[in-house]
Amino acid sequence: MLKVVATKQVRLGMFVQELKGAWIDHPFWKTSFKLEDPADLKKLQASGVKQVVIDTARGLDVAELDAPVDVPAAEIKTTSKPIRISAIEERERAKWVINASKKAVISMFNDVRMGKVVNAEAAMQCVDDIAASVARNEGALISLLRLKTKDDYTYMHSVAVCALMVALARGLELSEAEIKQAGLAGLLHDIGKAGIPLEILNKPAALTDEEFTLVRLHPERGHALLLEADITDEVVLDVCLHHHEKVNGMGYPHQLKADEISLFAKMGAVCDVYDAITSHRPYKENWEPSDSLQRMAQWADHFDDRVFKAFVKSVGIYPIGSMVKLKSGRLAVVIDQSQKSLLTPIVKVFFSTKAKSRIPMDVLDLSKPGLQDVIIGHENPLLWGINDVDKIWS
């Protein structure tokens, strides 16, 4: 249950769902967390935050002698739905979320390797932070996660799939509870890889048949690890076990077909593949985001059509970081999505194909009325000798 309470009523053991007021006014990089450190309590009470929203289902309630602040229930509901901001505005916060999530996932994998169970509470905290970032801007965190290094891939892939699952769940208009389930499923979908030797996971060459057979066991191993950790959520277990199934029945481990695969497992399949092919991996270079979507669209027998279309809508036909060619002959990189159309994102122009040279950078919102330039297609940066696209948009 969510309650709005005065900051002076807050005590250790409470779960803070939201800090009311502007983000810049409070001393924390995240807005939802369990308050367990006395130093954090002092910082909160010394800040300019007057009220907080607590979740009594995940932490302590106010003391019996204290009464919660009388605030209409309708106002409480709005706290979990941040107002959308631009990708540039969200990017710094997204970096904090990524760093914290990376540490948490590395810790979870290391715990599993040492025979410990998965820390479900730490996983849910990651999901809350990631979901909040995606709600503020669906592309900022997702685009930054594509910049993962080859060495970070195994861990950051889990964070990326979590974010993609949250964005897709929102696009499918699932409930808030289902969005969190999807996020947790994405975060834990590859936990079975913790049982695979690092020299195989990070091998800079194609796997042998024996190594590939071992890797293909990770869904079942992950499913068993989650049960050992007393994680019984059906969605999380199902996605872990079945995110490599294909609608044509050629996936693994159970060769399920079409309607035999749950909605969430179909979501996991799309998100898992998209992040894999757009990321630098030890044995394979990444594909450009827009090109990746076009290639995935041709694999009609792999993905559920409804889920894939919703996925494209959630990341954009031209995802952040895509290089595109404009009707004017200029090249640009997508820096954010517009709310009017998937075909008219916000881009940063930087190159003239006519002069074959760099030009002064200029930001264009292609959705603005009267703007004559339009996107005529995506471009491969390497064909133009451009190797710093990521620096241009990020």
Taking each helix axis from N to C end, the angle separating 305-315 and 263-277, rounded to the nearest 10 degrees, works out to 50
**69: number of Cβ within 10 Å:** 15
User: What single-letter amino acid sits at 343?
Assistant: L
Rounded to 5 degrees, φ, ψ at 227 are -65, -40
- Burial of residue 76 (CB within 10 Å: 0-12, 13-18, 19+) is middle
Report the pLDDT value the prediction gives residue 4, as an integer from 0 to 100.
Answer: 85
Report the pLDDT value the prediction gives residue 121, as an integer from 0 to 100.
Answer: 83
pLDDT in tens, the chain (394 residues): 778 888 888 988 898 888 776 544 556 656 678 888 887 888 888 877 888 888 888 888 886 445 444 444 444 333 445 688 999 999 999 999 999 999 999 999 999 999 998 888 889 889 999 999 999 999 999 999 999 888 888 899 999 999 999 999 999 999 988 999 999 999 999 999 999 998 998 888 889 999 999 999 999 999 999 999 888 899 999 999 999 999 999 999 999 999 999 999 999 999 999 999 999 887 788 899 999 999 999 997 999 999 999 999 999 999 999 999 999 999 999 999 998 899 999 999 999 999 999 999 999 999 999 888 999 999 999 899 999 999 999 8
Report the pLDDT value the prediction gives residue 71, as an integer from 0 to 100.
Answer: 43
- Starting at the edge strand found earlier in the chain, the sheet holding 2-6 runs 2-6, 51-55, 15-19, 33-34
Q: What pairing do the DSSP bridges indicate for beta strands 323-326 and 375-378?
A: antiparallel
Report the pLDDT value the prediction gives residue 76, as an integer from 0 to 100.
Answer: 39
- Burial of residue 377 (CB within 10 Å: 0-12, 13-18, 19+) is exposed
Residues 180 and 166: their CA atoms lie apart, in Å, by 7
Report the pLDDT value the prediction gives residue 31, as an integer from 0 to 100.
Answer: 63
Residues 89 and 136: their CA atoms lie apart, in Å, by 9
Task: Give the domains, in start order, of the chain with CATH numbers.
Answer: 2-80 (no CATH), 87-315 (1.10.3210.10), 323-393 (no CATH)
Report the pLDDT value the prediction gives residue 74, as an integer from 0 to 100.
Answer: 43
